[in-house]
Structure 1
Amino acid sequence: MCGIVGIFLKDAKLEPELGSMLASMLCVMTDRGPDSAGFAIYGAGDAEHVKFSLRAAEGFDFQGLAHSLSLTSGGTPRVTVRATHAVLEVPAAHASEVRAALARHPDVALVGAGTRMEVFKEVGLPSAVATRFDLGTMRGTHGIGHTRMATESAVTTAGAHPFSTGDDQCLVHNGSLSNHNALRRALTREGIAFATENDSEVAAGYLTWRMKQGASLGAALEAGLKDLDGFFTFVVGTESGFGVLRDPIACKPAVMAETDRYVAFGSEYRALVDLPGIAKAKVFEPEPATVYFWDRAA
């Protein structure tokens, strides 16, 4: 049992409040997942730069790492440190070189990359994780979050959600996949790498593989209805959008609310009750085996 939340803002006036809204939703889901928590925020960014979300041990010298990458990245990258994580921003023209250089640092984990996406996750109560990374002060257009109750793998930071499915894309999952070990072996043969035993990372890897074959995210999610065996609700984030998919029998609880200012998702309605205007929102349960998606570009 885990808790997942997400919010997509239609009204730009709410953007300064995105972090505080998401933090409130995340913390309400504590009893669904007290082991670890994580979130992705889609904030400011531009096509000329790539943000690398990095994780390392407490006290790691991220500033020193940025300085060591100065030649690779065409200048010292901009770095924002938040506890055990940092966001490294480099010119897009040098992103491939920086990614290769980061791979030579085994003490640093790359947890996400993109023009706007920033990913943070850690072991501990959701309230502690939100405070540690100062989620309440973050701003942006949309975000997703997860509180984990580990069932199929160890309680580790690496096993916490979200899991990235590609540049500016990530996924959080509530449920359990029964065929994840066989699927992991098959995807490994296709060149998809995994860092944990978490079944949710397999789902993320599956979407990555499908999209490398040319499928859209929506088509990849729909293909997952056939290939992913088990119970699941996915909430996904992209550079410009936010989507939801439940398994064909909708085993796990899910509720959504939509107003003219936002669309929000929660594993339970209580995650949504503090949102502005919730009393007048259209509240509904997403249908099984149906891809829902909202996009800023639409």
Structure 2
Amino acid sequence: MCGIVGLFLKNPALEPKLGEFVSAMLETMSDRGPDSAGFAVYGAGEPERVKLTLRVEGGPGSTEKLLGELETALGTPVESTVHDNHVVARVPAKEVERARVWLASARPDVKVVGIGRRMELYKGVGLPARVSERFDLPHMRGTHAIGHTRMATESAVTTDGAHPYSTGMDQCLVHNGSLSNHNAVRRLLQHEGFGFETENDTEVAAGYLTWRMRQGASLKEALEASLEDLDGFYTFVVGTENGFAVLRDPIACKPAVMAETEDYVAFGSEYRALVGLPGIETARVFEPEPATVYVWERV
């Protein structure tokens, strides 16, 4: 079943409360997905640094050891922020690829959850409220965020199976529904050089959008192409460095509702996820049209 939430802030004055709003929205969607949860927050970035969100098992000592090894490998200080078993390592932009290669060879036990100038990505097993609390989501600030609560119906309950999935810089995807041709698309993308870490069809959808955009398509064009190439029933919410996008399949059998005010645009699998937002009483509330791409971005 699963639940999706998204919040894009137009009003900078609300940015300190982004995490508080999204945490409440995720908790409301708990009964649509009590098994695991995840979210991506787009906060402040640094021009010369890129954030690597890493999942490190083994406790604080393991995190400190990893960061020391990474600094030694790169030959430069690595700034970091730790949230439970996830650490956001901020490395010089020119060292990102070297950091990825080193992690893959020297520390394959460490999971690279996401990479971006502004994106931080967290996910874990358990009730959404507990996941939010573990990673201190209520105190995170930023311009926008997307989140997901999962009810595992086709695979095991694992952190790897939780959403969002990220296959591109500052880009991630959450998904409610099921793709019927994801194995065929997976083979196509593997032929194009993509690697996959799970059997989840959402990871394939994320990879598909990244592939299209690497070919020169805009996010809107990539989502429009997915209507032809991805078969199934689904709602996609995509986070990018500058905003987020929404797409429902042509039948639109999965629930979705949006609200827009002068201060924000919000998405929820159900309206009750939005009722705690300020000014919701006067918001323009609407259901996204089938097979129609909606994009909101800051310029």
Mapped partners of 2:239, 2:95: distance in 1: 25
Aligned to 2:96: 95
Query: Cα RMSD over matched residues?
Result: 1.0
List structure 1 runs of 4+ shifted beyond 6 angstroms. Answer: none
Deviation at 1:81, TM superposition (A): 1.1
CA contact (8 A) 1:74 1:94 kept: no
Matches within 5 A, 1:157-196: 157-196=159-198
TM-score calculated relative to the size of structure 2? 0.97
Deviation at 1:102, TM superposition (A): 1.3
Aligned to 2:279: 277
Aligned to 2:231: 229
CA contact (8 A) 1:73 1:91 kept: no
Aligned to 1:145: 147
Matches within 5 A, 1:46-195: 46-59=46-59, 61-104=62-105, 105-195=107-197
Paired letter, 1:80:
T
Mapped partners of 1:191, 1:278: distance in 2: 45
Is residue 11 of structure 2 the alignment partner of residue 16 of structure 1? no
Unaligned runs of 5+ in 2: none
Deviation string 1:122-168 (CA, Å, 9 cap, x unpaired) is 01110110000010000000000000011222211011000013100
CA contact (8 A) 1:77 1:89 kept: yes
User: Which of residues 213, 216, 235 is equivalent to 2:215?
Assistant: 213
Mapped partners of 1:237, 1:282: distance in 2: 22
Say which is worse superposed, 233-242 or 94-103, in terms of deviation.
Answer: 94-103
Mapped partners of 2:118, 2:82: distance in 1: 16
CA contact (8 A) 1:73 1:95 kept: no
Mapped partners of 2:46, 2:293: distance in 1: 28
Aligned to 2:2: 2
TM-score calculated relative to the size of structure 1? 0.97
Deviation string 1:87-112 (CA, Å, 9 cap, x unpaired) is 00011121111111111211101010
Mapped partners of 1:272, 1:23: distance in 2: 11
Paired letter, 2:263:
R
Counting aligned pairs with the same residue, the percent is 67
CA contact (8 A) 1:259 1:281 kept: yes
Mapped partners of 1:48, 1:174: distance in 2: 35
Paired letter, 2:230:
L
